Amino acid sequence: MSSVTVRVPAKVNVQLSVGPLREDGFHDLVNVFHAVSIFDEVAAKESESITVAVTGDWADQVPVDDENLAIRAARALAKHAGRGYGADLVIRKAIPVAGGMAGGSADAAGALVACNELWGLGLPVEDLMEIAADLGSDVPFSLMGGTALGTGRGERLTELPTAGTFHWTFATAHGGLSTPRVYAECDRLRAAAMAEVPWPEPDADLVAALRAGDPHALGRRLSNDLQPAALTLRPALATTLEAGRRLGALGAIVSGSGPTCAFLAEDAAHATRLARAIPESAPTRTTTAAHGPTPGATIL
């Protein structure tokens, strides 16, 4: 095998409940991940060493050194296999960078699947999931795709059943938001409010809406504990969310740590209308209609 290409989806969190700050600086989460049809492609070619190049939208914002999550994933896999394998990785980037849609994690998952194939390792998905969990808490879900409940730091995953297809519109913003900064702002707001932070629990009504394929019920139950922090750091996002609501979105939410905003639509045509109309009254960079759930990292 001289070249392998893998397609990996972005995610939106339809529930993101953030527990109290732990002594180790992390939070226990209840995270319902949903993979959507905005894809990065990771191609791996035989080579002496491990390198990365990035093309497509957002390419200029992605590091091409050892900070790149795809390189770190390929290195971790080579180490696991116990050999000095090499690969030239090329990432075709469509998932917004630092947008709260797990783009870096997607590329890490793509690199794991591509290099496993390129190097003929034949590791089972369970092994890849373990390596993925060490790389970052969103990486296992990028491998798995579909819709899943994540607990712990988000890395312990249980698949959730869904019916049919949900239609979404995503509005990206100019400039990213750093995930650690958004968590820190969430902690700061909570400390200032001196409110008791409840233990995070899965929302039974949301899980039922997913199972029933009911976008109206899902739209009512979308929740994100990081949203107040993202809105404090980026007040203009409130205008974007409001624009979608006025246009009849069934639910409007900041995706993960933001600043991408996610809108649940009635159907594909409504998602397209939202994508056209939201920029007329809100400061967005791009808008895209997409659907979910989609499979995780897949060899093309």
Per the CB < 8 A criterion, the answer to whether 295 and 39 are in contact is no
| Residue tagged active-site, from 40, 107, 138, 225 | 138
From candidates 77, 101, 132, 226, binder to ligand ATP by CB under 6 A: 101
Q: Is 134 a catalytic residue?
A: no
Minimum Å gap between C-beta 100 and ligand ATP is 4
Show the beta-strand stretches assigned E in 61-172. 87-93, 147-151, 156-159, 166-171
| H-run or E-run covering 173 | none
Helix (H, G, I), strand (E, B) or coil at 86: coil
Asked if 66 is an active-site residue, the reply is: no
Segment lying near ligand ATP (by CB under 6 A), choices 43-51, 63-71, 112-120, 289-297: 63-71
- Which strand (E) or helix (H) includes residue 12? strand 3-21
Task: Measure the CA–CA gap between 215 and 165, rounded to whole angstroms.
Answer: 9
103 binds ligand ATP (CB under 6 A): yes
Q: Is 97 in the site for ligand ATP (CB under 6 A)?
A: yes
Residue 102 makes contact with ligand ATP by CB under 6 A: yes
Residues 184-223 that bind ligand ATP (CB under 6 A): none
Site membership for ligand ATP, residue 225 (CB under 6 A): no
Residue 220: CB minimum distance to ligand ATP, A: 24
Cis peptide before 124 (omega within 30 of 0): no
Is residue 67 within the footprint of ligand ATP (CB under 6 A)? yes
Q: Using CA of residue 179, residue 147, residue 31, residue 124, what is the dihedral sign?
A: negative
Structure token digits, residue 177: 């938001």
Q: Smallest distance from the beta carbon of 155 to ligand ATP, in angstroms?
A: 12
Helix (H, G, I), strand (E, B) or coil at 281: helix
Interacting positions 120-139 with ligand ATP (CB under 6 A): 138
CB-nearer residue toward ligand ATP: 55 or 83: 55
Q: If binding means CB under 6 A, how many residues of this protein chain bind ligand ATP?
A: 22
Q: Which two tokens stand for residue 202?
A: 């899965």
User: Given candidates 6, 12, 36, 62, which one binds ligand ATP under the rule CB under 6 A?
Assistant: 62
User: Cα dist. 51→16, 47, 72, 266, 276 in Å?
Assistant: 34, 9, 10, 43, 38
Cα gap 15→263, rounded to integer Å: 14
Out of 15, 31, 68, 116, the residue judged to bind ligand ATP by CB under 6 A: 68
The reply on whether position 162 binds ligand ATP by CB under 6 A is: no
Tell the smallest beta-carbon distance from residue 21 to ligand ATP (Å): 17
Q: How many CB atoms lie within 10 A of CB 111?
A: 34
Structure tokens at 197: 């932070």
Name the residue with tokens 């397209």: 272
Rule CB under 6 A: choose which of 9, 39, 74, 100 binds ligand ATP. 100
Residues that bind ligand ATP (CB under 6 A): 62-63, 67-70, 91, 97-105, 107, 138, 176, 179, 256-257
Catalytically annotated residues: 11, 138
